[in-house]
Copies of this chain bind each other. A is one copy, B any other.
Amino acid sequence: MAVAFSDQVRIVANDSARWDVFARHESDVRWYCRKFSSVYVSASSATIVDEDGREYIDFLSGASALNYGHNPEPIKHAVVRYLSEDGILHALDLHTAAKRDFIAAFCETVLKPRGLGYKLAFTGPTGTNAVELAIKFARHFTQRETVIAFTNAYHGVSLGSLALTGNRSKRAAAGIALPGVARLPYDGYLGDGLDTAALFERLLDDPGSGIDMPAAVILETVQAEGGLNTCSPQWLRRICETSRRHGIITIVDDIQVGCGRTGTFFSFEGMGIEPDIVCLSKSLSGIGQPFSLVLLKPALDCLPPGAHNGTFRGNNLAFVSARAALRYWSDPLFQSCLERLCRTLRDRLDAIARGFSQLHTRVVGRGAILGLKWPDATMANRVSAAAFERGLIIETCGARDEVLKLLPPLTIRDDELESGLQKLEGAIADAAGHATDLIARGQDHE
């Protein structure tokens, strides 16, 4: 089965009507379907099945929206029961029992054990809406406008979030200038020689720097779309300390790397900081339901009632599934399995990088969000394509698609993991032996 990167090619190569509906009626802006081109039907754990019955190991996991795998039984069970009882599904921001239970469980399971006293703000159930609300809180509270964002950041594509996102082609889609943001280099952006937190500090301390005193600084502790760049705890603390000194709100966007992806619930645990605001979404609902959450220190809770709204900010099915998902975090077995997964992934990838040392790849990332960084996009895309032929869905990331990103479910079964890693090794071998380069794709992805 040939891998094709555009529907045009696909339609020529395969005159089945199978994709006609998409090609004829869906906007060309669609993306992943071009790379992993099949029609999927069902899924369970880390395994997806297409309509021909073919199975795929999923190392994409909904871009980390499916940390507990596809259709996790306990969560699905809770959802079906709620439906069967005519539980209220859509409630705007009315009080519901499902919401209260989620809030209570989140406080009990997540916040209290970590000594965190955040308040919860529910917004439209997407990551970008959470980021939009976070920067509203920061700007409204500080009465300042500028938000500092970093190189290769990804925070969403609605205008407020897109202004923070680094990707030039996604920014260009706005068709309008994206104001209110100052861009600074992320940790390690200029190599080890330069501490970019020192630049951050200098620019804020210098009244002539041209950086207006910011409302907030927003960052990912692992830049998931940006190429699995990580920051050191030292860098992070210096950013936070400088911010505190200037009254700048610190926002951690934990949408992709929170909910356990780095090995702990929040990605910043153990790094010695306590952000003022945290954005969560993706895996929060536990079952792929749209859901998002802004955590904020009570002192920042400055917006008047009704100042921010959203039709689906009370997705009660998500309250139910998210509460069920929190039970993983009270289960010591889940924690130890997660630790083991992180170790296994790191060990196996290290071995792969060593085994294919002639390909100049190195392991990047942290916890269960790891990748192989190649000199450029060619090999990363070639491996992704070869893996798909072998029945493994694995994406690339980075500003130039130069990183192959592994995002298996955190609850992946050992056999699935093993199968996926073997397919990956095979795909690298395929790609390395490949006689001719695939045509450069010249496009970016999420």
Query: Which of the listed residues A65, A185, A209, A281 has the most CB atoms from chain B within 10 Å of its own CB?
Result: A209
Q: Establish whether residues B443 and A212, one from each chain, have CB atoms under 8 Å apart when the complex forms.
A: no
Q: How far is the CB of A6 from chain B (nearest CB, A)?
A: 8
Q: Provided the pairs A29-B121, A39-B97, A311-B126 are in contact, do residues A103 and B22 lie with their beta carbons within 8 angstroms?
A: yes
- Note all chain B residues with C-beta closer than 8 A to A166: 208-210
- Which chain A residues numbered 169 to 187 have a C-beta less than 8 Å away from chain B? 169-183, 185
Q: A207 with B400: in contact, given A182-B183, A306-B445 (CB under 8 Å)?
A: yes
A96 and B175 in contact (CB under 8 A), knowing A126-B311, A158-B128, A311-B127?
Answer: no
Between A100, A210, A211, the greatest number of chain B beta carbons within 10 A of the residue's beta carbon is seen for A210
B-chain residues with CB within 8 Å of residue A310 when the two chains form the complex: 126-128, 156-157
Which of A40-48, A353-361, A422-430 lies at the binding interface? A40-48
Is A33 positioned at the interface, with any CB of B under 8 Å from its CB?
yes
Task: Choose among A37, A145, A189, A303 the residue with the greatest number of B CB atoms under 10 Å from its CB.
Answer: A303
Query: Does any Cβ of B come within 8 Å of A242's Cβ?
Result: no
Q: What distance in Å separates the Cβ of A227 from its nearest Cβ neighbour in chain B? A: 7
A174 close to B136 (CB less than 8 A): yes
Say yes or no: is A92 at the interface (Cβ < 8 Å to chain B): yes
Q: Is the interface of A mostly helix, strand, loop or mixed?
A: loop
Distance in Å: Cβ of A163 to nearest Cβ of chain B? 8
**Most interface-central of A86, A149, A179 (chain B CB within 10 A):** A86
Interface centre among A37, A312, A444 (most CB of B within 10 A): A312
Residue in B closest to A210 when the chains form the complex, CB atoms: B166
Q: Does A381 contact B (CB under 8 A)?
A: no
Question: What residues of chain B lie closer than 8 Å to A88, measured between beta carbons?
Answer: 40-43, 48, 70
Whether B145 contacts A177 by the Cβ 8 Å rule is: yes
Stretch at the interface among A263-271, A284-292, A339-347: A284-292
Instruction: Indicate whether A436 reaches chain B with its CB closer than 8 angstroms.
Output: no
Contacts of A89-105 to chain B: CB distance below 8 A: 89-97, 99-100, 103-104
Which of B160, B189, B290 lies in contact with A158, CB distance below 8 A? B160
Q: Is the CB of B100 within 8 A of A22?
A: yes
Q: Is A80 an interface residue (CB 8 A)?
A: yes
- Chain B residues whose CB sits within 8 angstroms of the CB of A178 once the complex forms: 212
- Interface assignment of A399: CB less than 8 Å from any CB of chain B: yes
A315 CB contacts on chain B under 8 angstroms: 288-290
Q: Mark A133-162, 1 if CB is under 8 A from B, else 0.
A: 001101110111100011111001111110
Question: Is the pair B124, A129 in contact by a Cβ cutoff of 8 Å?
Answer: yes
Are A226 and B211 CB-contacts (below 8 A) given A194-B190, A312-B290? Answer: no
A168-B288 CB under 8 A given contacts A25-B107, A32-B93, A128-B129: no
- Complex formed: what's the CA distance from A139 to B151 in Å? 24
Q: Which residue on B lies nearest to A121, using beta carbons?
A: B27
A150 contacts which of B119, B202, B210 (Cβ < 8 Å)? B210
Given pairs A63-B92, A159-B163, 16 additional interface contacts (CB within 8 A): A19-B95, A25-B103, A31-B93, A40-B96, A41-B96, A62-B92, A145-B176, A149-B210, A173-B308, A179-B179, A185-B202, A185-B203, A193-B194, A282-B311, A306-B446, A309-B446
